[in-house]
Structure 1
Amino acid sequence: MHNSYSFSQLRTKRLARATRPFLARGISVARCQSCHLAQFACICSWKRKLNIQMDLVLLMHTDEILKPTNTGKLISDILPNNCFAFEWSRTEPEKALLALLQDPNRFVVILYPTQATRTAYQSPVKAAGNKKLTLIVIDGTWRQSKKIFNLSPWLQPYPTLDLSLNQQASYELRKAPHAHQLSTAEATAQALKQCQQQNASELLHHYFNVFNLHYSAARIGQTPAPSISHQALEQYP
């Protein structure tokens, strides 16, 4: 099944709209056109795919879509039929996005810390009942994510999923202000676990680790070293 709202489709649209060249750090590096890592550190051969019983909506700040360090795209990689990527707009969200969120057959939850004014779940599976659990994943810096959450009136009706954090962030490519603040991929892996999607959680965890290792190695011009996560991914079909 073709997903018209995959991350790759969103990135193509964002590039077409760009009015100036995208000049990221390392722009001179020869990159894989799929994973956007340096060709010698490409992770495409480590990509594995799953179908799961819930959907994810990747709501991306415009600045994140073209960043090679973005980890939200990893979710789209491993869950191509269950992840729908949209660019955030405060006042003009895409009609397809609103239609998806307002589908009466879906139970929509936002991955965001508990707020006093909202219902929050540690695991929303029972609350979803027979509806399809749909998780909104906000993808941006911590400042951008807070803005997206607070300033989008069309997001206000939905409860949140609060993470049970028992780990420190391991993302080496960007440093969060606090150790418990995870990258988008790390947070989503934990959320999938709390939504009883253990296989997807573990797959995303290992795929993220491989991405992190390969990108870090590419920054210093070294060949990525094998790891436990490489070994784990080899076990997936």
Structure 2
Amino acid sequence: MSRARCERCLRPSGHCLCPLIPELPSRTRVLVLQHPSEVGHALNTARLAALGLNNAELRVGEVFEDLPELLARPGYRAHLLFPADDAQPLQPYGMTDEPLLLVVPDGTWRKARKLLHLNPLLAALPRVTLEAASPSRYRLRKAPGPGALSTLEAIVQALEVLEAPASFEPLLRPFESLIEGQIAAMGAETYQRNHLKP
């Protein structure tokens, strides 16, 4: 028999994160395209981002048939937050800049690349990247590289560049709580043995 869970944050009822999830406005529209393999992940950070931002949407799939409609939002310029040789570093909005529709693939690097491969329209978008990403707070996953961030962290950092001096730090509160809960569940000794850098 499965445990009762919150239908909003998808956490077990006793560990519901909803009281920690903010409702933040943003000038930027965020569209997260989540690979199906991420949906059941215990640390589903893309869902936390979509719940905490008023101007965000989360779609799950591999092929997005309605991608042309999703990208054609009046008043927004669609850009893909994903590394590439020609990716432009994000810059703060100027006074007259049209805001971005920031498209963020969510999955492992391999799954995210697959989303781009299966959705040529997505791969064709102009790309943007974080010039100097802060270190990840994701203490439970081994990052593939020094600049690797969880989806939620990448979104927070991107918005804080674009919409400076606005702070999107409250989006990280449920994320931090989730990580602390996972560490507590595994026990300090197990965490130190398997996750702390020597």
Write the distance in 2 (CA, Å) between the matches of 1:167 and 1:174.
16
1:85 and 2:58 aligned: yes
Structure 2 equivalent of residue 69 of structure 1: 43
Residues 34 and 196 of structure 1: is their aligned pair in 2 closer, same or farther, counting only changes over 3 Å? same
Structure 2 equivalent of residue 50 of structure 1: 24
Write the distance in 2 (CA, Å) between the matches of 1:145 and 1:72.
13
Which runs of 5 or more structure 2 residues have no equivalent in the other structure? 188-198
Write the distance in 2 (CA, Å) between the matches of 1:154 and 1:174.
30
State the identity %. 31
| Conserved 8 A contact 1:60-1:139 | yes
Matches within 5 A, 1:1-237: 31-79=5-53, 81-90=54-63, 93-95=64-66, 97-116=67-86, 120-123=88-91, 125-126=93-94, 129-196=96-163, 198-220=165-187
> How high is the TM-score relative to the length of structure 1?
0.68
Residues 183 and 105 of structure 1: is their aligned pair in 2 closer, same or farther, counting only changes over 3 Å? same
Give the AA of the match of 2:62: S
Give the AA of the match of 1:204: L
- CA RMSD across the alignment: 2.8
Which runs of 5 or more structure 1 residues have no equivalent in the other structure? 1-26, 221-237
Residues 198 and 141 of structure 1: is their aligned pair in 2 closer, same or farther, counting only changes over 3 Å? farther
What is the CA deviation profile of residues 121-152 of structure 1, one whole-angstrom value per residue up to 9, with x for unaligned ones?
Answer: 322634x9453321001100111112223442
Greater than 6 Å deviation, 4+ residue runs: none
Write the distance in 2 (CA, Å) between the matches of 1:61 and 1:205.
21
Write the distance in 2 (CA, Å) between the matches of 1:36 and 1:88.
18
Write the distance in 2 (CA, Å) between the matches of 1:200 and 1:72.
18
Residues 46 and 53 of structure 1: is their aligned pair in 2 closer, same or farther, counting only changes over 3 Å? same
Give the AA of the match of 1:133: L
Write the distance in 1 (CA, Å) between the matches of 2:55 and 2:126.
20
